Structure 1
């Protein structure tokens, strides 16, 4: 089972191979290939057919980029396009690439070869008529990342591709859009609506849609909650429930929540919801929490397990569930760590999460590299 990993600061992309086993002591994780990149790629997103990779580019000036995935799972650079502010996240439909980061976002068409085509639309997230620093937070641990710590941070399409959601930390909200299906402007966003988070200190960071099209999950960076939201046909969102994703005896001020993802069963609806949280200080370890879901995507009670990670996670601790392995009951997750450059493999057996393998990303100079995010091939 191969997957790709990017870094925050190094112009390299890594292909890793996970070899599962029912005897977890025999699971293996190795770096198979290293491909040249054009910058640090903090976020990776695959095309639906997994032949193209789209990335953020942490460089000056900021950009988004596309790569072709070769049969041996190495990568070949296709092209890049500039964006106004550092992008935190990209996603794509067959015709369109979406990016969001800090005060702005962009919509691009995709060329027939999968490269990034002409610019379509700019998205603005600053308060209309407000100051240039609306939502800004000074003195935050780990820095501000060009406005990502107090602005728009993610962009995700619904399973049908006709709705799009952007979590905005600084405005304490999730923006929702309809995606145009007209032949004149396919992919253009319209009918923007705003869902304000339920707690003043939430800070929505990432969202993730359920495949049924009726549920959206929102992970809150500051309050360390994950909220379950209902989606209407007109993209309006409403809170159904919320669940804390760190232990009850921990102070959320010492953490910053990171990721929310669904399990990937071979058939049927997702059974589990996974979230991850980072420690703000190097000495404060992060967590991965897992919740049960009913067939409609509603969270069922408290977390099955809240697993303490090996490090704080640095600015990563991002999780990505693997496709279900035939003949095995355990579910697997890749987790990236920027603090020590580790990529971990975690397993969930229906009761608890365990670490089953790890490897470390090392540069040519022998120094560890800041692992960012992973996507499964």
Structure 2
């Protein structure tokens, strides 16, 4: 089972191979190959056919980039396109690439060869003329071009008709209608988060298209939101993703993802958080879902990660493994020590089953960012 990992600051993309085993001690994780990259890639997004990869580019000036994925799972750069502010996240349809980061976002066409085409639309998330709209001062780990107090994610609904954007600074989730063949966006709506200190960071839709999950960076909650026929969002329930005795002010929540729906609906929701300081370890929480995608109470397990996670601790569930239907695997990235982990969940407990450290040619560890499974 191969997956790709980018780093925040290094012009390398890694292809890793995970070999699962019923005996967890026999699971293996190795670096299969390394590909030259256009820049540091904090976020990765695969095309639906998994033949192309789209990425953010942490560089000056900031950009987004495209790659062709070869049969051996190495990557060939195609091109890049500039964006106005550092992108935190990209997603794609068959025809369109979407980017969001801090105060702004972009919509690009995708050419037939998979490369990035023309700029179709600019998105604005600040009130015009107010450079401080949504801004916060003194945030830990730096500003990242407005990502710490602006838009931070962008995802398509399962039917490709709606875009959802989590905005930390405005404490909200924006939604847009996707229009026409080009995929431009219109009819913006705003859902204000449930708590004043939430700070929505990432969202993720349920395959049924009726529920959206939102992970709240500051309050360390994950919320399940209903989606009405008119596209309005409403809170169904929320749950804390760190232990009850921990102070959310010492953490920043990171990721929310669903288990693979094979067969039927996803059984579990995974949410991760990072420690704000190096000595504060992060967590991965797992929740049971009913057949409609609602949370079934509090976390089944909250797993303490090996490090704080740095600015990563992003989790990505793997495809199901034949013969191991009772176990789910997740890739998890760590920027603090450059580790890539594979975790396993058996319905009761999350455990680490494999790890590999990313190291540069100079022997220094590389800040692992996010992973996508091929």
Q: Matched residue of 1:148: which SS?
A: helix
In the alignment, the residues of structure 1 paired with residue 210 and residue 162 of structure 2 have an alpha-carbon distance, to the nearest angstrom, of 11
Describe how 1:89-100 pairs up with structure 2 within 5 A.
Answer: 89-100=89-100
Equivalent residues in 2 for 1:319-330, closer than 5 Å: 319-328=315-324, 329-330=326-327
Q: Deviations over 1:16-46 (max 9, x none)?
A: 0000000000000000000000110000000
- 1:286 and 2:285 matched: no
> 1:127-154 CA distances to partner (integer Å, 9 max, x unpaired)?
244x212222222111110000000000
Q: What is the distance in 1 between the residues matched to 2:251 and 2:114?
A: 38
2:18 corresponding residue in structure 1: 18
- In the other structure, the counterpart of 1:179 is 178
Distance (Å, rounded) in 2 between the aligned partners of 1:286 and 1:217: 20
RMSD: 0.7
Find the aligned partners of 2:230 and 2:333 in 1 and give their Cα distance. Answer: 36
User: How far 1:117 sits from its partner (Å)?
Assistant: 0.5
- 1:314 and 2:331 aligned: no
The answer for the alignment partner of 2:159 in structure 1 is 160
Q: 1:1-377 to 2 correspondence within 5 Å?
A: 1-129=1-129, 131-180=130-179, 182-183=180-181, 186-328=182-324, 329-377=326-374
Deviation at residue 316 of structure 1 after TM alignment:
0.1
Q: Secondary structure at the match of 2:249?
A: helix
Structure 1's unaligned 5+ residue stretches are: none
How far apart are the structure 2 equivalents of 1:300 and 1:45? 29
Give, in whole Å, the separation in 1 of the partners of 2:171 and 2:148: 12
Q: CA deviation at 1:362?
A: 0.3
Q: After superposing the two structures, state which structure 1 stretch, 229-238 or 358-367, moved more.
A: 229-238
SS state of the match for residue 119, structure 2? Answer: strand
Q: Distance in 2 between matches of 1:267 and 1:109?
A: 34
CA contact (8 A) 1:177 1:235 kept: no
Contact 1:178 1:234 in 2 (8 A): no
Q: Distance in 2 between matches of 1:140 and 1:339?
A: 18
Instruction: Point out where structure 2 has 5 or more consecutive residues left out of the alignment.
Output: none
CA distance in 2, matches of 1:3, 1:233: 36
Q: Between Structure 1 and Structure 2, how many residues are aligned?
A: 373
CA distance in 2, matches of 1:127, 1:172: 14
